[in-house]
Every structure is written in structure tokens, then in C-alpha cells.
Amino acid sequence: MSKPKTPSRSASKSSSHAKVNLEHSKNEDAMKLLVAEMRRKEQEVFKGGGEKRIAKLHAKGKMTARERVDALLDSGKPVFEIGAFVGDGMYEEHGGCPSGGVVVVLGYIKGRLCVVVANDATVKAGAWFPITGKKNLRAQEIAMENRLPIVYLVDSAGVYLPMQDEIFPDKEHFGRIFRNNAVMSSMGIPQISAIMGSCVAGGAYLPIMSDEALIVEGTGSIFLAGPYLVRAAIGEDVDAETLGGAATTTEISGICDYREKDDASCLKRIRSLVGQMGSRERAGFDRIEAQKPEHALEHIYGVLPAGLAKPYDMRNLLRCVVDQGSLEEYKEGYGQSIVTTYARIDGWAVGIVANQRNIVRTAKGETQFGGVIYSDSADKAARFIMNCNQKKIPLVFFQDVTGFMVGSRSEHGGIIKDGAKLVNAMSNSVVPKFTVVVGNSYGAGNYAMCGKAYDPRLMLAWPTAQIAVMGGAQAAKVLLQIEMASAKAKGEEVSKEKETELLERITARYEAMTKPYHAASRLWVDAIIDPVRTREWLSAGITMADHAPVEKRFNPGVLQT
């Protein structure tokens, strides 16, 4: 009788390879479904207030906000939209506010990177909801941080009156925009405004506080009080054109500098004005000739396990983003739950701080779980951030973090002290920071890995991102215990069936709040991006950051030791 054949080493290797490929294909399919959903939602958002309102705008001889932006920007150059999903699922009792009623993009005009802000008149006549104000302030913040020219395409009915108390009086409300106009002017940041529709009340200050203002004949009008308010206040009967139309503002009051016959000629004039701008001092971040990544861009779709349920090696993700051969890992064998590495993205030198999702065994024989920040990894990341500041290298954070390690062993080892050191170094960093949330972003882990509160120049998310104080399963169980205790305190009996139904309802509600669209609607992230564009977004981010010299010296303050 012959012995059964032992599989050859090559056959075993081939089987293992096939398994990896199968896993990669499953991951890729899951990611592509999420990207397709994102594209579908984008197409809905891009309709603004809907086809009827777009047709109404066209009948007046006006372009839509997105048509204006497209005509203004250089054709064939990449465009990066900020806050496309702002307002998603919000203000439904008021008819909704797609994209916050305003389009904000980073794009090129005559070869120069600019911020463009365009009111969408198909959404409540371009009226300002609370989230509209927040989005406009974010656009100005990007312009100020990176010393980029900003162009406003104004077409707005002013503050949305039913919600005026949520946008009018506070520090980060409507008035902050005019304060920023004044500050940007003193900083030497060019501002150009085009009045292409209504420009009413306090909103009239924005274009006139810009460096140059244009107005379109027949459609553009600007005044502190419109005809109805003037009639009510002082009894004067006057039409909008006489009050603040193109002829009035360019020939009588002189508040506008250029009078244009239509949208197309107005946008052409803006392009000419931007094209004449001189260059300024740069930050001087290092850039060499770019190399393609080790893997094709599409390979990135299959890196993350579907549902984020399994461990994976973060380095495989990085090899899809950085220039081939540029990874130079810092303290590779120490603090392995965070990868710290120098690299290049599209030729730009960067320092990367990324959560490692693999389970690893340390030299001491201890097991470290993926996505968790331990004392040694926090200590390593803090030191690496300080080194990047010393060498003027921009920082890129890749988040897939469940939080800091808990338990008596970690507490006795000083996890709070080491976590504080990381937060301190990251908070006081003077080189530009960029954050990409690829998976989990929970609790203090979000903070330590440069969450929104820590001023990343861009905060990006993949469709797989989950942002919350803790994971859905844990949070739901905590919330269930609270509800159960409340019911018992009232003398109510909760059956096992009712408990299960309650847990399912709480879990669904909580998990809806962890999805990236919930974060994007509130501008906790600047954009949800297709993973294949990660490299392109980060390169554009560093390009814009290079416009602003690093003026402060890094001072990490008092570090815990």
C-alpha cells in the first residue's frame, strides 16, 4: 500500500497565495460597493435644489453654482471638493440643505491653486443655514492657513430667518466671516468677489471687504436693505436695480470695480485677475521627482478587510500611497502598534504616523492587539513627531484606532503619561498635518492621531471610516444598561424579547451616527474620498501647505517622562 503524498512546499505556497488573492478580491468587492454608494449619494447632492430650480435659474440667464465653478477653473486640472456631504440628513423639516447650500473647492485658476466658494441659489435661494456658515468659515480657514487666494461667487438671499438664532450672534457664526475678510486682507491673502445674484443685508459686506468686486448686469444686486424693507422702514418705493444693481454700484456708489454683461464674462475676468498675481515666499518642503507607488492605485481597494473584522498590515496600505522604495521606518521593532516612517508622496517628503492593525508579539513575548495605542507606541510616535518638526517635514496620520490600551498593567505602566506626551507633541507641531481615517476612529485614539480638534490642514475619510467615542457594540451595551436601569427604577419589567429588541434598536441608531456621512454632514471631516484618490489628495494638500511659510518654532511644552 502506497503512502499518501505530502503536499510539496511549492503547492502549499501556491494554496496560501490563492487564499490571499481570494481574501483580497472579497475586500475589493466590499470596498467598491461602498465607493459606488458614495458616488450615488454625490450625484444626488450635485443636483442641489433639484431640476426645476436649476431650470428656473437657467431661464434667468444664470449658471448654477457648479457650472460657475467648472467654468472658472482650469480644465483638465484636478479639483478637490470640500464638504460635498455637508448638511446630509439635516434640516429635513425645512426641506433639507444639500451640500450646505454652498460649493467649496480647491482648484487651479490660471495654474494657481485657489479656494473657490460659490453659493447655490437652487437651495433656498442660497440662504445661509447654520451649517452654511460653518462651511464658509472652513473655506476661509483653509485659505488663511495655507495663504491661498480665495474667490467668492455670491448669489444668496442672506441668513435663513427661521434659524437666525443659530447663525447670527455667536463667535463662530455669520459675523466671523467679515472678521476673516479683514484678517486675510491684513495677511496679504488675495480675495476676489463676484456678485452674480442677490447679495443682501450683512452679506453685502463680504464682497465689499474683498480686494476686488465684480457685478453681473441684470442678475447681480447688492444692498443692506432690499426694496421691501426700504418701503417698510422709510416708505420709499424703489426697485432692486436702482437700489443696488450693476449701473448703480459701478457708476454712482462705486462699491463695485467691474461691471460684466453675464456670468461667462464675469468668470473670464476673474481668471484674468488671478492670472496676474505674483508669487510669494514658500515653506520650502522638500520635493523630488515622483515615483509611482509599489502597487497599482486600484490595489488599495483590497487592503482593508471587509467590515474591518480582521487584522491587516498597515504597510500594505502605505505601499499603495507612497512613492515606491521611499518607506524608511523609524524604530520598526519598537512600539509596533503604531507605524512611524519617513516616505515620499508624489515626490513630497512626509512623516507618516499610522495605526498598525496586525496583532504582534513583542521582544518581551507580550501580545499587542492591532489598532490599540500602547505606552511604547505612544512614546515612539511622540518622538517621531518631534523629529519631523526638527527637520520641517509635513506629517500624515492614517487612523484605524480603537483607543488606548486599558487595564491595571497599562495604568501601572503610565499609559496616561505616555498618551499625554503624544497628544502634546502632536498639538504643538508647527509643520502641516493631514489626517486620513481609513477605519475606526474611536475616543481618545481619534485625538492622539490628529483628529479634527487638532487642526489637520485636511481631514479626510474613506467610506469605511467609523468615527465615535467608542465602537457600536460596546456603546450599545452601555446604553442598554442605562435604559434597563431606568425601566427598573420605574418598576417596569423588561422581558428577554424586549431587551433584545431594545439592543437592536440602540445599536442601529448608534451605528448610524458612526458612519462617515454623519461626520461629513457636520464637517467633522472635510471630504469622504475614493481610496484611489488618497495619494492625489495628500499631494494637493502639501502643495497648498507649501504656500505658507512655517513661521513658528516647535515648542512641545512640558513633556511627561
Residue 103: pLDDT over 80: yes
What tens digit of pLDDT does each residue of 130-174 get? 999 999 999 999 999 999 999 999 999 888 888 999 998 999 998
Q: Looking at 7-21, 28-42, 501-515, which range is the least confident one?
A: 7-21
The C-alpha cell that represents 429 in the structure block: 507641531
What tens digit of pLDDT does each residue of 273-303 get? 999 999 999 999 999 999 999 999 999 999 9
User: How would you classify the pairing of strands 328-329 and 221-223?
Assistant: unpaired
312 with 357: CB under 8 angstroms?
yes
Instruction: Count the Cβ atoms, other than its own, within 10 Å of residue 389.
Output: 22
Helix ranges (H only) for 86-226 are 130-146, 175-187, 205-208
If pLDDT is split at 50, 70 and 90, which confidence band does 452 have?
very high
Burial class (CB in 10 A: 0-12, 13-18, 19+), 499: middle
Can you tell me whether residue 340 is helix, strand or coil? strand
**Per-residue pLDDT at 356:** 96
Average pLDDT score, the chain: 92
Q: In angstroms, what CA-CA distances link 359 with 318, 336, 355, 407, 516?
A: 18, 9, 11, 18, 26
Domains 43-275 and 297-465+525-545 alike in fold: yes
What fold, for 43-275? 2-enoyl-CoA Hydratase; Chain A, domain 1 (3.90.226)
**Per-residue pLDDT at 7:** 56
The C-alpha cell that represents 420 in the structure block: 499625554
Domain ranges (residues) in the chain: 43-275, 297-465+525-545, 471-514
**Per-residue pLDDT at 546:** 98
If pLDDT is split at 50, 70 and 90, which confidence band does 1 have?
very low
Answer left, alpha or beta for residue 422, where phi above 0 means left and psi between -120 and 50 means alpha. alpha
Q: What percent of the chain has pLDDT over 90?
A: 73
Q: Looking at 33-37, 119-123, 496-500, which range is the least confident one?
A: 496-500
Average pLDDT, integer, range 533-552: 97
Q: What is the pTM of this model?
A: 0.92
Can you tell me whether residue 216 is helix, strand or coil? strand
Average pLDDT, integer, range 448-461: 97
Q: What percent of the chain has pLDDT over 70?
A: 95
Can you tell me whether residue 282 is helix, strand or coil? coil
**Per-residue pLDDT at 61:** 95
Cα 438 to the center of its chain, rounded Å: 13
**Per-residue pLDDT at 523:** 97
Determine which helix (DSSP H) or strand (DSSP E) holds 180, and give its type and residue range.
helix 175-187
**Per-residue pLDDT at 426:** 96
CATH architecture of the region 297-465+525-545: Alpha-Beta Complex (3.90)
Q: Looking at 325-339, 362-376, 547-561, which range is the least confident one?
A: 362-376
Average pLDDT, integer, range 24-42: 96
Average pLDDT, integer, range 484-503: 76
Residue tagged 440667464 (cell numbers): 61
320 with 293: CB under 8 angstroms?
yes
**Per-residue pLDDT at 477:** 72
- Give φ, ψ of 190 to 5 degrees: -65, 135
323 with 347: CB under 8 angstroms?
yes
The C-alpha cell that represents 237 in the structure block: 418705493
What tens digit of pLDDT does each residue of 174-210 get? 899 999 999 999 999 999 999 999 998 777 889 999 9
If pLDDT is split at 50, 70 and 90, which confidence band does 14 have?
low
Cα 417 to the center of its chain, rounded Å: 30
If pLDDT is split at 50, 70 and 90, which confidence band does 465 have?
very high
- Quick one: which of 103, 142, 148 has its CA closest to 457? 142
Residues contacting residue 253 through CB under 8 Å, at least 6 positions apart: 244
The C-alpha cell that represents 520 in the structure block: 461629513
